Structures are given as structure tokens and as C-alpha cells.
């Protein structure tokens, strides 16, 4: 999830702040089910000594979550969303989410910066992994699991840092990529990366992806061992928007970004005689798009919108253009495996989702190619 002026994030001044209080359900508001009280590796070894990572029911789906903790599934083959239920743990505000092969959602709390897990079959059941807020300087981060195909562990959780200051950005060594072992709680910083803020997802065959950058936003594939960027693909025509997420499924990448408010254009057209002229003026049109994407009009983002259009956006059309609770999301599909023969084509597959998505993820059990 990218932070916006309406959702300010203030990072602590020192890494590990509040560490003495971490680990109790009282501090985070987490209701801990006794059966989930400890995060343990339940998989077994095969006769050959290899780790057998059994997939829980439902872990072949994409899971998405709203800022207020509403969990849904998204099934790409049928292009359908289904409601799972609300998270009742933590502060009630979600920054990001990852999904493991046991059917647990790993949730970063926007308010407390704590990490907790929920049973995706019953989101009211929560547990706390061995995590200290601010661990390694990671206060806010996108995250996702990647298969490691080792004897010791089925998967590890990868973290993409975010400074907590302003929109996501890019530049040399602005961010960090780290790997967290959910079995023992250890954190290893792999590399400095050129993105401040980004979402992460991984696959069952060991691939690691990030959705990050600006002007244009980019899909990045990293080496899971070194953190080296293997591929950086600009996604021309796609805005990152104030709330965003993505997930890998069946050889493709599914990207969740905010959709334009459908009533906004109609309202502005009826409110301002200059609206049509604004759309024809490149500077005004760009400023309008920036303000609608950002979620508010500022001097830097929207200052060149014609005055009468700005008046409408601040008055008559405010709720239509900047709906309470934020815009709903849309879903784009990136044909990563080029299975349709048109290269890595980007297409809109679901114009209006039933929620505003700030986090998404698939487990390592998600299909690697079209079933």
C-alpha cells in the first residue's frame, strides 16, 4: 500500500522502538487463539529427507485485503471475488499482507507496525510470530513468501522497505530487500535496491517479484539469494495510485490499483463548462489525472486544473471524485509468461472490484501456469 496525504505514516526515530512491549496480545489488540499461539513448521520430511510442504485448502487463490481489514479472495480463472471476513486483530488498519502455504495471512499493522498472522479460513483467529516492530529498520514494508526448496524450510518471507515518507519513489539505493525466516524469526538484509516502497510476491518455484517505482511504475524480478534485479519491466499506462497491490497466479501477474470514480467525470461535465476544455489541454488534463490519482488537489498535483473545475472538485463533485473510504480497485493482468503470443501485454480484466485493495498475495501453492 502506498501512503497518501490522507493516510500519513510517521516512522519511529529509532529501529526497534517499542520492542519491550512486542509479543503480547494486549499491546496489539490481537485475540490469540490457543491453537495458533505459536508459529510452528508443521510440514514433515519425506523418506528422501526433502521437506514436504503440504498446501492448506484455498491456498491456490489470490487473497486481497482492504485498509480496514476486510479479506476477500480473487480467482483469476473465473474473474470472481468472494468475501472471507474481517480481521479482528491489531489496530484494525492494514498496511500489507502475505500468504503462506499453511493458509495464514501475514499482516503488517499500519498503526502499530507489528506483524501478526490470521487464519484465512477464520480471520478472527490470530497469532504473533517472533517479530519486533522496526526490526532491521523495516518499519513499513511490502512482503511475500517465496519457496526455498531446502531441507530446512518450505518458504521464507521477503520484505521490501518503505521509508514511510510521501509517495513511493525510486533512485539509487533508496530502499532495502530483506528475507525473514518465519521459523526462527531471523532477518537478513540482502541488498540495497533502487525503490523506496514496493509490494512483494513470490512463487512456488523460487521466483521473487516486486511492484514498485514511478513514472512509469515497474514490475521487478529479483534474485532471491542476492537481491540483484534480474528484470525491470516498465508498465506504461498504469498508475501506481494511492492503494495498490499485486499477486502472481498461473504464469501471470495480477495488479490491483485504484479505479477512477465512475461518477466523477459525469459530475464534472455537468458542473463546469471548462471541463471538456481541460481534458483537451495537456497540462490541465495531466494535473486532473494527478489529483484524482492522489486523492486530493494540491499545488504540486492539481494546481494547473482550471479554476472552475477545481471549484467543482472541492464542492459539488467532491464526494463523487473523492469518495469517502477511498476509491474501489480495478484489476489488470500482465501476461508474464506470454502465453497469448502478444508479449508481456497488460490488459484490464476487472474494472471495478468490490473493495479498495491495499494488500494482496498468493502462497507458494498458487498455480505456476494455467491449469
Q: Does a structural domain hold residue 301?
A: yes
Q: How much is the pLDDT for 167?
A: 82
Distance CA(345)–CA(102), nearest Å, equals 32
Per-residue pLDDT reduced to its tens digit, 276-296: 999 999 999 999 988 887 788
Tell how strand 140-147 and strand 187-196 pair up.
Answer: unpaired
Range of the domain at 233: 19-259+327-361
Shared domain for 109 and 37, answered yes or no, is: yes
Same domain, 182 and 281: no
Residue 79, classed as helix, strand or coil, is coil
If one compares 224 and 42, the residue with the highest pLDDT of the two is: 224
User: How does the average pLDDT of the chain come out, rounded?
Assistant: 85
Within a domain: 104: yes
Domain count, the chain: 2
pTM: 0.80
In which residue are the cell numbers 511504475 written? 217
Assigned domain for 2 exists: no
206 and 282 share one domain:
no
pLDDT score of 52 more than 80? no
Half-sphere exposure of 262 (CA within 13 A, CB side): 6
Predicted confidence at residue 29, as pLDDT, reads 37
* Residues 96 and 186 occupy one common structural domain: yes
Burial of residue 66 (number of CB atoms within 10 Å: 0-12, 13-18, 19+): buried
Flag whether pLDDT at 97 surpasses 60. Answer: yes
- 223-245 pLDDT per residue, tens: 999 999 999 999 998 988 889 99
Note the pLDDT of residue 262.
77
Share of the chain above pLDDT 90, in %: 70
- CA-CA-CA-CA dihedral for 181, 185, 186, 188, to nearest 10: 60
Would you say the C-alpha torsion 93, 99, 103, 106 has a positive or negative sign? negative
Name the region of 206 (left: φ>0; alpha: ψ -120 to 50; beta: rest).
left
Q: Exposed (0-12), middle (13-18) or buried (19+): which is 279, by Cβ within 10 Å?
A: middle
Pick the more confident residue, 196 or 183.
Answer: 196
Cis amide prior to 286 (ω within 30 degrees): no
Amino acid at each position: 500500500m502506498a501512503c497518501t496525504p490522507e493516510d500519513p505514516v510517521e516512522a519511529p526515530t529509532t529501529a526497534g522502538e517499542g520492542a519491550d512491549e512486542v509479543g503480547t496480545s494486549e499491546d496489539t489488540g490481537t485475540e490469540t487463539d490457543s491453537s495458533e499461539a505459536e508459529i510452528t513448521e508443521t510440514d514433515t520430511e519425506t523418506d528422501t529427507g526433502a521437506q514436504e510442504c503440504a498446501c492448506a485448502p484455498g491456498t491456490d487463490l489470490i487473497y486481497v485485503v482492504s485498509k480496514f481489514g476486510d479479506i476477500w479472495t480473487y480467482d483469476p480463472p473465473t474473474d470472481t471475488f468472494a468475501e472471507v471476513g474481517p480481521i479482528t486483530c491489531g489496530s484494525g488498519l492494514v498496511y500489507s499482507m502475505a500468504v503462506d502455504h499453511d493458509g495464514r495471512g501475514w499482516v503488517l499493522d499500519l498503526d502499530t507496525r507489528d506483524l501478526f498472522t490470521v487464519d484465512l479460513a477464520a480471520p478472527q483467529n490470530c497469532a504473533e510470530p517472533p517479530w519486533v516492530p522496526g526490526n532491521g529498520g523495516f518499519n513499513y514494508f511490502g512482503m511475500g513468501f517465496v519457496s526455498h526448496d531446502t531441507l530446512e524450510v518450505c518458504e521464507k518471507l521477503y520484505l521490501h522497505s518503505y521509508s514511510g515518507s510521501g509517495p513511493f519513489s525510486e533512485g539509487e539505493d533508496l530502499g532495502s530487500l530483506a528475507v525473514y525466516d518465519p521459523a526462527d524469526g531471523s532477518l537478513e538484509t540482502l541488498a540495497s535496491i533502487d525503490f523506496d516502497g514496493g509490494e512483494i510476491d513470490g512463487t512456488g518455484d523460487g521466483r521473487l517479484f516486486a511492484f514498485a517505482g514511478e513514472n512509469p511504475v515497474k514490475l521487478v524480478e529479483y534474485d532471491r539469494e542476492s537481491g540483484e534485479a534480474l528484470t525491470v519491466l516498465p508498465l506504461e499506462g498504469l498508475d501506481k495510485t494511492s492503494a495498490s497491490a499485486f499477486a502472481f497466479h498461473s504464469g501471470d501477474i495480477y495488479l490491483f490499483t485504484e479505479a477512477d470514480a465512475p461518477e466523477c467525470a459525469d459530475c464534472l461535465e455537468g458542473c463546469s463548462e471548462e471541463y471538456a476544455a481541460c481534458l483537451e489541454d495537456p497540462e490541465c488534463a495531466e494535473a486532473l489525472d494527478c489529483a484524482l490519482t492522489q486523492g486530493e488537489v494540491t499545488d504540486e498535483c492539481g494546481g494547473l486544473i482550471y479554476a472552475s473545475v477545481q471549484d467543482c472538485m472541492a464542492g459539488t463533485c467532491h464526494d463523487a471524485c473523492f469518495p469517502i473510504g477511498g476509491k474501489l480497485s480495478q484489476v489488470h493482468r500482465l501476461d508474464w509468461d506470454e502465453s497469448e503470443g502478444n508479449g508481456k501485454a497488460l490488459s484490464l480484466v476487472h474494472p471495478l472490484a468490490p473493495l479498495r485493495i491495499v494488500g494482496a498475495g498468493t502462497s507458494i501453492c498458487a498455480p505456476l501456469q494455467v491449469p
